[in-house]
Amino acid sequence: MKTMCSRFMKAYPIAVGLIAFLLFPQAIKAQGNAQTFTQEQLKEYFNNRPKPDKWMDPTGKYQVVMEVDPTLEGHTIYHPVDLSAFPKKDKLPVVLMSGPGCDDDGDSFRPFWTEIASHGYMVIATGEPVPEGVRAAMGATTEEDMKAGLDWIISENERPGSKYYQKVDTEHIALFGQSCGGVQALKLSGDPRVSLLGLWNSGLGAMADNADPTRSSLMGISPALKEMLINLRIPIAYFVGDTDPARPNSAMDYDNIKSNVSVVLAVREIPGDAHGGTFREKNGGSFGQVGVAWLDWQFKHSKKAAKVFKSSKSFLFTDKKWVEVKTKNL
């Protein structure tokens, strides 16, 4: 299926960031922020920005549009172009995601988000598309931004006149987050409207153990967050890289969860920047494949998708690049 990019809802100015990079290679202003980066950091960032060939042919049956809605500032939406199939012929669950990290960035993971949406999902990414030649602001979002997307889509689904009116399956809402974004998702896991979690290159680990409960800590982590994890009320999956610095955190989280919810920990061999995942690869790479399976099993009750996590013959267990897979309470 081919994809479309709808930007008629909001105009984006041509950025001069690339020119600034060429003239002043020592630093550049990030989008909406006074952060500065070295020439090498910017070169790596721009080289990692995905090209259209990575998202133009997703594997799902739906053609996908990426757009920004003026009533939801600071977010990017991915969904099937034709919404007429929903809800009579198919469900349209929601995935809200923050990534890369807590960056103000709505399209660096476009291949991954397009792949998810092509299988009949609405994806709401925290951050808007980053103008060409500009580096997205790092650490610029919080869980409140993710919550704003959640509040908005539920409201739109109930508002007569909205193109999403009674189209969205608000009984099935997932929170995904990469790195710092995973902590955002975890912090909202107590919201009764949320029914599934996916943490990518992320995990709480021991970060909450030394947090001062009377003070704000890194990413707002507190001992209470660890208690929430221990008594987690909804299924969760961790997908990390083999040399990912977040791998020990995800492994610790897996062991710390004591409730009877389904838990998955899958470790993927990822050359180079393992913490960056495979989101920018064609159709989101292996993360796109397993992300669709996790959603299809939990939200669309696909028996085929369930086997990905339950059968020793599935690609998750037979593909040697998945170097470690652990599950409980499935």
**Predicted pLDDT at 148:** 98
Q: For the chain, list the domains and their CATH numbers.
A: 3-328 (3.40.50.1820)
**Alpha-carbon distance 55 to 107, whole Å?**
11
**Predicted pLDDT at 211:** 64
Which of 42-56, 163-177, 199-213 comes out lowest in average pLDDT?
199-213
| Region 103-131 average pLDDT | 96
**Would you say residue 162 has pLDDT above 70?**
yes
Considering only residues 140 and 211, tell me which one the structure prediction assigns the higher pLDDT: 140
**Alpha-carbon distance 27 to 143, whole Å?**
29
**AA letter at 212:** D
CB 264 within 8 A of CB 309: yes
CB 152 within 8 A of CB 48: no
> Three-class SS of residue 175?
strand
**Alpha-carbon distance 92 to 321, whole Å?**
31
Q: Which among 292, 323, 322, 293 is positioned nearest to 310, based on CA atoms?
A: 293
> Three-class SS of residue 214?
coil
- The pLDDT tens digits for 53-98 are 999 999 999 999 999 999 999 999 999 999 999 999 999 999 999 9
Strand partners, 66: 5, 78
| Region 167-178 average pLDDT | 98
CB 202 within 8 A of CB 177: yes
CB proximity list for 206: less than 8 A, separation 6 or greater: 249, 252
CB 61 within 8 A of CB 118: yes
**Alpha-carbon distance 93 to 161, whole Å?**
20
**Predicted pLDDT at 214:** 55
**Would you say residue 22 has pLDDT above 60?**
no
268 — phi, psi (to 5°)? -110, 135
**Alpha-carbon distance 256 to 220, whole Å?**
20
CB 53 within 8 A of CB 62: no
Q: How confident is residue 47, by pLDDT bands cut at 50, 70 and 90?
A: confident
CB 225 within 8 A of CB 216: no
pTM of the model: 0.88
Q: Which among 183, 62, 172, 37 is positioned nearest to 114, based on CA atoms?
A: 62
CB proximity list for 154: less than 8 A, separation 6 or greater: 170, 193
| Region 95-102 average pLDDT | 96
With the C-alpha atoms ordered 302, 305, 309, 311, is the resulting torsion angle positive or negative?
A: positive
**Predicted pLDDT at 38:** 86
Both structure tokens of 215: 């003070």
Both structure tokens of 126: 């925290």
Considering only residues 217 and 21, tell me which one the structure prediction assigns the higher pLDDT: 217
| Region 276-290 average pLDDT | 98
User: What are the angstrom distances between the C-alpha of 294 and each of 8, 290, 303, 307, 313?
Assistant: 33, 6, 11, 10, 16
> Three-class SS of residue 325?
strand
**Predicted pLDDT at 110:** 98
| Region 135-155 average pLDDT | 94
**Predicted pLDDT at 267:** 98
Which of 32-36, 140-144, 146-150, 325-329 comes out lowest in average pLDDT?
32-36
| Percent of the chain at pLDDT exceeding 70 | 86
Side-chain-facing half-sphere of 303: CA atoms under 13 Å: 0
Considering only residues 174 and 8, tell me which one the structure prediction assigns the higher pLDDT: 174
H/E stretch holding 239: strand 236-241
Q: State the pairing for strand pair 3-6/94-98.
A: unpaired
**Alpha-carbon distance 93 to 324, whole Å?**
29
**Would you say residue 215 has pLDDT above 60?**
no
Task: State the chain's mean pLDDT as an integer.
Answer: 88
